[in-house]
Chain A
Amino acid sequence: AQTVTQSQPEMSVQEAETVTLSCTYDTSESDYYLFWYKQPPSRQMILVIRQEAYKQQNATENRFSVNFQKAAKSFSLKISDSQLGDAAMYFCALTTGANSKLTFGKGITLSVRP
């Protein structure tokens, strides 16, 4: 069985500042993929960033980057230069190559203060 843990239910960040969202996971598989999804008030799930476990280099997508610590099974998301539109619920998720089911964390609600 695989698990994803997001222990912070809520976070707040000042506009233009940087915030880091934490995620830890557990899996016995060696081949897996990690994702961060954003769910704004519209409730449409949007892929923010993904990381292949076999890649040591941390993924980046514009203002979004991850800190992937494979040995520690940690996958945190850093949002730089936070914008009002970043306010949403963020989910960390894990899938293995075996069955392709996504295992989600409980999510974290991020608010951005103007």
Chain B
Amino acid sequence: GAVVSQHPSWVICKSGTSVKIECRSLDFQATTMFWYRQFPKQSLMLMATSNEGSKATYEQGVEKDKFLINHASLTLSTLTVTSAHPEDSSFYICSARDSGDFYNEQFFGPGTRLTVL
């Protein structure tokens, strides 16, 4: 099956620093990747849609200058949390859609736990 990896799986950083999270599709090409944020016991909240070679589309209320997304290749998208603050602490999940998939299925990465001190 299709595999999506995320790196790092967890990160702790100081307030004011920037953190980059990588999302890779390992065995398929993904023209579209998605970034979600999830709080404990809650649903996934879509932050942005990342399209290879073009600017990401952000959901309403998501600060594009704070959450920088780059989708430079068909297998890699990155999310950079700039000037992180404690309220940015959360679980971040990426997913990738197989360009050739008939079912519009998204394959999910294992997630990244971000803790900002």
Other than the given A44-B108, A97-B104, 7 more pairs (CB < 8 A) read A33-B104, A43-B110, A95-B104, A100-B104, A101-B34, A107-B42, A107-B43
A interface size (C-beta, 8 A): 22
Q: Once the chains bind, are A102 and B46 in contact (CB under 8 Å)?
A: yes
Q: Once the chains bind, are A91 and B103 in contact (CB under 8 Å)?
A: no
Q: Once the chains bind, are A106 and B44 in contact (CB under 8 Å)?
A: no
Interface hub of A52, A91, A102 (most chain B Cβ within 10 A): A102
* B contact set with A: CB distance below 8 Å: 32, 34, 38, 41-44, 46, 49, 91, 93, 95, 97, 103-106, 108, 110-111
* A contact set with B: CB distance below 8 Å: 33, 35, 37, 42-45, 47, 50, 52, 89, 91, 95, 97, 100-102, 104-107, 109
Q: Would you call the interface of chain B mostly helix, strand, loop, or mixed? A: strand
The CA-CA distance from A104 to B59 in the complex, in Å, is: 14
Q: Once the chains bind, are B42 and A50 in contact (CB under 8 Å)?
A: no
The CA-CA distance from A37 to B36 in the complex, in Å, is: 15
Q: Once the chains bind, are B49 and A47 in contact (CB under 8 Å)?
A: no
